[in-house]
Amino acid sequence: MPNRSKVTILAIETSADETSAAVLLGDKKTGKFKLLSNLIYSQIKIHQKTGGIVPEVAARAHIPKIIPVVKLALRQAKTRLGEINCLAVTTGPGLVTSLMVGVDTAKALAFALNKPIISINHLEGHLLSALGGQNLQLTTYNFPALGLVVSGGHTMLVLIKRIGEYKILGQTLDDAAGECFDKVAKILGLPYPGGPVLAKLARKGDPEAFVFPRPMINSNDYNFSFAGLKTHVLYFWQTFQKTNVIAALPRRYVGVARNDKNIKADIAACAEQAIIDVLVAKTINAAKKIKAKAILLGGGVSANLKLRKILAEAVKKNIPNSTFHIPDSDLTTDNAGMIAVAGYFHFINGHYATSEKIITNPNWELGSWR
Ligand code: KG4
Ligand code: ZN
């Protein structure tokens, strides 16, 4: 007799430059679930040549990888395709042609298997990614919660009234936090992808070497802006290149010969610190305002160790009754595991459809129509 309370979900994510598939085993009765596999094929090597993602190139690169990645995810999960009860797929937001590869693969599988399929918002995946590794149960989870999603395309604070019910409290008005990491790295001539490389270099630098702006840190809202910081770093670096003189050079550096490597590390550390200070200040303000019982961090930038540490300390100090949740490292940057987690919550709430109802929605705003 098959156990009818069990559900096995196959999730697919291709919204940008990662081809990913994951298998989740959940229990509808207990609300418990476990990720059995979470396979990611990264296109980083391809995009290193251009120093960024070319959408058409990314979409084409998904095509030869999607079936092998799905097969490997199933094999690693020791699950046969016939055992899948439901598909979950990222339908937006993202690069339309990249999304279409994953969406059409998931639709074809759902059609052939005669199984339901769930349309998942990529940002909801990041928002709930912290729940994946810890396998938190819905019943033990406290609301309202606050989510900070920090990725290459988005930076937003989200009120989570309950899972599936979201309100964006604020978001970036220009560049996302990850984009700022990437652009500062590019200015300093660091290789793609800039964020993790800049973070690594920052460890060797002094975060107080220079005074960099913290845009909108005191604005009375939950919006962000990182374009000004990037421009500040650009002018700062260009001035140094031209004159070998650092604007606003702290007194202790005067007369000290500085080579490019040290200056780059200091700039990396100062830029990272400025981004983190803004993210942490806004998150604490928003958490106090909504009386958040839990804070969830997600998105590619949540891989940043300094952000994790400083935010954890700030939550403990300022809102000691709240819990703080971070994703496991393989659930930080784009992955299908987080899509499977979001899919599981929607599955138990009956939010699934047949394959012909599923469409790609590259501009899908979190919290709007699904
Ligand atoms: O979530 P993600 O994989 O893709 C989007 O949905 O955008 O996020 C990618 C972003 C990139 O900007 C990347 O540089 C940044 O996350 N990132 C980091 C780190 N690891 C990835 N930024 C800062 N520190 C890191 N360790
Ligand atoms: Zn993402």
Query: For residue 252, what pLDDT is reported?
Result: 54
**Helix crossing, 194-202 with 177-187: angle to 10°?**
70
Tokens of 307: 């952000």
CA 162 to centroid of ligand 2, rounded, Å:
21
Query: For residue 31, what pLDDT is reported?
Result: 83
- The helix/strand/coil state of 167 is strand
Name the residue at shortest CA distance from atom 1 of ligand 1.
300
Nearest ligand atom owner, CA of 327? 1
Query: For residue 239, what pLDDT is reported?
Result: 82
- The helix/strand/coil state of 243 is helix
- The helix/strand/coil state of 145 is strand
CA 132 to centroid of ligand 1, rounded, Å:
18
Contacts of 111 (CB under 8 A, 6+ apart): 355, 356
273-282 confidence digits (pLDDT tens)? 999 999 999 9
* H runs (alpha helix) in 114-247: 122-134, 177-187, 194-202, 227-243
Query: For residue 1, what pLDDT is reported?
Result: 46
CA 203 to centroid of ligand 2, rounded, Å:
24
Phi (first) and psi of residue 324, to 5 degrees: -125, 130
Question: Cα 102–108–111 angle (5° rounding)?
Answer: 135
Name the residue at shortest CA distance from atom 13 of ligand 1.
195
Distance (Å, rounded) from C-alpha 25 to C-alpha 77?
Answer: 9
The residues facing 117 across adjacent strands are: 87, 353
| Token pair 């994510």: residue | 13
- The helix/strand/coil state of 323 is strand
pLDDT in tens, the chain (370 residues): 456 799 999 999 999 999 999 999 999 888 889 999 999 999 999 998 888 899 999 999 999 999 999 999 999 999 999 999 999 999 999 999 999 999 999 999 999 999 999 999 999 999 999 998 866 654 456 799 999 999 999 999 999 998 899 999 999 999 999 999 999 999 999 998 899 999 999 999 999 988 999 999 999 999 999 999 999 999 998 888 777 666 556 655 555 555 667 889 999 999 999 999 999 999 999 999 999 999 999 999 999 999 999 999 999 999 999 999 999 999 999 999 999 999 999 999 888 899 999 999 999 999 875 5
Could you tell me which of 268, 47, 276, 234 has the C-alpha nearest to residue 150? 276
Atom of ligand 1 nearest to the CA of 334: 3
Residues lining ligand 1, Cβ inside 6 A: 16, 151-153, 178-179, 181-182, 193-196, 199, 299-301, 303-304, 333-334
Could you tell me which of 365, 351, 340 has the C-alpha nearest to residue 135? 340
Tokens of 152: 């290459």
Nearest ligand atom owner, CA of 299? 1
**Helix crossing, 177-187 with 227-243: angle to 10°?**
10
